Chain A
Amino acid sequence: MTLTAMIVKMSEGLGRTCAIFFLTLLFSLPLGLLVALLRMSKNRVLSTFTKAIISVLRGTPLMLQLIAVAYGPFYLFGATLLVKQKLLAIIIAFALNYAAYFAEIYRGGIESMPVGQYEAAHVLGYSKTQTFMRIILPQVVKRILPSVTNEVITLVKDTSMAFTLAYMEMFSIGKQIANSQSSFLPFIIAGAFYYLMNSVVAFGMSRIEKKLSYYR
């Protein structure tokens, strides 16, 4: 198998890699905010429960969580796993795991906001929701962007973990080729692909950071 053939074959899996990446972000970013708000809830039961969930999601390997989501239902209810449900299982596991990390980032950002911002809005008559959506959240987004960039970059690389479920994204295809051809080359190609994707991510995020630098 030539190098070009390997690259072509592996890039066929890039669509699936990107699907994991974008779908995870799509669900985990808003979910993370919700989890952060539950974590900061004045209701002790709710905040303790959320804290425990976050602790488990951050304290156990993502690979284990993938397996749990994918095969758990089978052992629990005898449900069967179809190919299409593989992506579903991956997205559920990834979205939950990343939401836990994003939640703590959001929480850090929200708690770093000076109380004066809330008070100024309160005195002007803003409701709690208006204060959060218009005054707090936009400033939080700017503050947490560097930490979010870190997570997003990690996510690009973590998509390779889908090979655990034999989901044929780019890395799984590469691993298959490496096995059948007894070649190390696919891993180098995979590394190059991830590096390229993350260069795009880093560029995109720095553009957003620049866009938000209109105020301090």
Chain B
Amino acid sequence: MNILEIEHCRKQFGGNEVLTDISLTVSEGQVVSIIGPSGSGKSTLLRCATLLETMDGGSLKYLGKSAVTDVNGKAVYASPAELKQMRSYFGLVFQNFNLFPHYTVLKNITEAPMLIQKRERGEVMETARDLLEKMGLSDKANAYPYQLSGGQQQRVSIARALAMKPQMLFFDEPTSALDPELTGEILKVIRALAAEHMTMVIVTHEMAFARDVSDHVIFMDGGVIVEQGNPNDIINNPTQDRTIQFLSRFN
């Protein structure tokens, strides 16, 4: 089953086209990595998919339900109530974590499931404890974000997203704010999620990681998908000039 379907997505910022006819399908259990230079539109694509940015044209579907429909080349959004429903299908992990600094780790993870999803306190607490254990942060439940390292904060933000029991997770350069040592921690967590067949879309600059963890790699530049396919093919043997040029430093 397809969790996410984006077709012909277009997005302009003040006359400047940042996304040109992007289509992307993610099926259940699939891990898709999006790579490319800064300003290539990968983050904008992620922000359109997560409804943080409105697309100008194209369509967007979650679990076969339309969030955005294309009407004569114009993007038409579903009702706020329907979009709210759609938001529960996915989680997003930000580059700079965006934890709530005035909440403890536990409250960061548990407030939304209780407040928004109206889930029962006991069940949410148990879910949160399990997630913290999985993230190796059981002893940090009552700590505040500022007391944690960047890697720990990012693991909390992954736990916060997972506590909503989403159908899929988006990662927007999850390791870009971290030093190499802490990057390893996060990549390990994402690998573990991949092993559990969590459906994920990851925007990343970690080429080796993208190759190892994903089922599909997309290379974007200038608002278009330049090349996509099997991770090994794209990263080790790219065919397009732009991809070869971009990956030359890595290879």
Contact = CB atoms under 8 A, between A and B. Distances in A.
A122 B52 contact: yes
B92 A117 contact: no
A180 B250 CA distance: 90
Interface of A is mostly: helix
B87 interface: yes
A5 B101 CA distance: 54
B119 interface: no
B102 A142 contact: yes
Interface in A113-143: 114, 116-117, 119-126, 130, 134-135, 138-139, 142
A75 interface: no
Contacts, number: 55
Contact size range, A: 20 to 34
Given A116-B96, A119-B98, A125-B84, A215 B112 contact: no
A216 interface: yes
Interface residues of B, number: 25
Nearest to B85: A125
Contact of A123 (B92, B144, B146): B92
Interface in B55-106: 84, 87-88, 91-92, 94, 96, 98-102
A117 B102 contact: no
Interface in A201-216: 214-216
Interface string B216-244: 00000000000000000000000000000
A215 B104 CA distance: 9
25 contacts: A114-B98, A119-B52, A119-B94, A120-B94, A120-B98, A120-B99, A120-B100, A121-B100, A122-B52, A122-B87, A123-B50, A123-B51, A123-B52, A123-B91, A124-B87, A125-B87, A125-B88, A125-B112, A126-B112, A130-B116, A134-B111, A139-B102, A215-B145, A216-B101, A216-B146
Interface of A: 114, 116-117, 119-126, 130, 134-135, 138-139, 142, 214-216
